[in-house]
Amino acid sequence: MTLPKIRLRVDPGNLNALMTEVVLEVDAPTATLPLAADKGPVEWMTEDLGEDPWAFQEEVLNSVVDNERTAVPKCHSSGGTRAAAMAALWWMHHYPGGVVYTLAPTWPQVKDLLWRDIEDIYVKARERGIGLGGDFMPRSCRWNFSARRFAVGRSTDVAEQLQGPHADHFLLIIDEASGFNEILEPAVEGMLASGHVRLLMLSQPTKLSGIFFKANHRERANYNILHMDGYKTPNIEAALRSHPPTGGDSIVQALAKLPDDFELPRPYLLRPDWIVKRAAAWGESNPLYQIRVRGKFPKQASDSLISMDWIESAFAAVDTNISPNTVEIKNE
């Protein structure tokens, strides 16, 4: 049995106190899994690590391979963060000089969301006798192989503090991306300026501003947009196949009639009863419902007098044949 190494390190915020950092793995329990140089992320995750990604998660993983930039506006409990964790693990095991840098608006979001999933996959692999190697330090959200091969999680809302590394193969994952404003955009772009890079942004689309909103609107031509509507998640689709709407029922009304003993194919994802309760509490047209259930940007910010519908309609009505330096006056 290989015992974990205990590392003592000083907490920079409290130089009088020592913190213990448990490195979960120094040597693999049996043999360290070799680099996945010949396998894509879906194949590697399913065949080597025993993960079971569903179709949307597979889309996210494949998009990281095929597209420089991917933006994922998603509903609640869709497995998007788990897909990002899978992408991070695959990247580290696909590229010998791979670096993964993850960002979220707050430290608890870094530690308790994305890195919790990274740790879960890492530990489950170890329990199956599969070593993923490196020094894995979940409390500090860091996974070290060498000075040129590592993964790290960070949180900040100050552009000057967002100075990420450059690497031959660099993956930047921004989780809860709606929480970042456009002030951080130059720093993010600086990290993507050289080498083989990929950017994956995921979030419930809570705001009509910031880098995530911009990626899904003004800059959408630069991104592969993967929208995850709660109605398209596995449990909801299975429920509607088994008990489709009848007699003019809406989707929510059909879900409300679902038998209590209906077996959900993936109970850890979005549940039909939660959707029914949120529709009753919020209303289907409520921005909260549109964001959390449908994965859609709200039509109007809570502090805005002008709705998003009006703005989009105004842009759609613009005559693109008119010179930007020309003022046209029409008599009607």
Per-residue pLDDT at 299:
85
CA 35 to chain centre: 24
Per-residue pLDDT at 306:
41
Per-residue pLDDT at 158:
64
The model scores a pTM over 0.85: no
Give me the phi and psi of 180, to 5 degrees please.
-105, 135
Check whether domain 5-228 has CATH 1.10.3720.10, yes or no: no
Per-residue pLDDT at 32:
60
Per-residue pLDDT at 6:
45
Q: How many CA atoms lie within 13 A of 136 on its CB side?
A: 22
Per-residue pLDDT at 166:
76
Query: Which residues, 6+ apart, have CB-to-CB distance to 137 below 8 Å?
Result: 7, 21, 22, 23, 24, 143, 144
Please say whether the beta carbons of 125 and 49 come within 8 A: yes
Can you tell me the distance from the alpha carbon of 140 to that of 259, in angstroms, rounded to the nearest whole number?
45
**Cα torsion for 234, 236, 239, 245, to the nearest 10°?**
-140
- Tell me 2's DSSP state: P
Query: Which residues, 6+ apart, have CB-to-CB distance to 177 below 8 Å?
Result: 71, 201, 202, 203, 210, 211, 212, 215
Compute the 3-state secondary structure of the chain and give helix, strand, coil in percent, each to the nearest 5: 40, 20, 45
Give me the residue spans of the domains in the chain.
Answer: 5-228, 231-292
Query: pLDDT tens digits, the chain, 332 residues: what are they?
Result: 444 444 444 444 444 433 344 444 434 344 566 667 789 999 999 999 999 999 999 999 999 999 999 999 999 999 999 999 999 999 999 998 899 999 999 999 999 999 999 999 999 999 989 899 999 999 999 999 999 999 999 997 666 666 667 789 999 999 999 999 888 888 899 999 999 999 999 999 999 999 999 999 999 999 999 999 999 999 999 999 999 999 999 999 999 999 999 999 999 999 999 999 999 999 999 999 999 999 999 986 544 434 444 444 444 444 444 444 444 444 44
Sheet holding 149-155, edge to edge: 135-137, 142-146, 149-155, 98-104, 169-174, 196-203, 69-73, 224-225
Strands 142-146 and 149-155: antiparallel
